[in-house]
Structure 1
Amino acid sequence: MAAKKVDALEERLEGEMNQIKATMEEKISSMEGQVADLRDMMKKMLEIHNQMAAAVAMVVEGKNTNSEIRREEDEVEIVDGE
């Protein structure tokens, strides 16, 4: 009689463990998908950041070039041919 109870408990426990295992596998699979999505978003954000930094650098470089040209024009002295 005790052996039957132990067998029944083992079967019940095994069933519950399989159910817990299946639930955990589903959750892990879902989390893996979320992590992959997060990784893709981070890559896109980094690309956008790099593009913005490059654009800002070009604008700043353009302003510096224009400022240097203006300074050179201001420094040029016009000499009269007389």
Structure 2
Amino acid sequence: MGETNALLQRNKILKRETALATAAVYESMFAAEDGTVPATFQVIYMVGWKEHPSQQKAKRRGSATVSFQDIQKQFVGGGGGSSS
């Protein structure tokens, strides 16, 4: 669509007037009778990755020398630790 990264082009300073106007609109729309203003937040985590020639390459499938089942046995009632 020809869009560039909006975060790079946005104004990095939130003006006081903008914050106050937003708070006033939000309060007029959602304030409870007791004067409280409920708010809900969503936290979104995003991770990006791109392969680079300097990174390690994945080993070929089936080249492991230990199975995941053997590893799991060590952590799920399979032993190693002492019980008191």
- Give yes or no for TM over 0.5: no
Q: TM-score range by the shorter chain?
A: under 0.3
Structure having greater relative contact order (Cα 8 Å, sep ≥ 6)? 2
TM value normalised by structure 1: 0.21
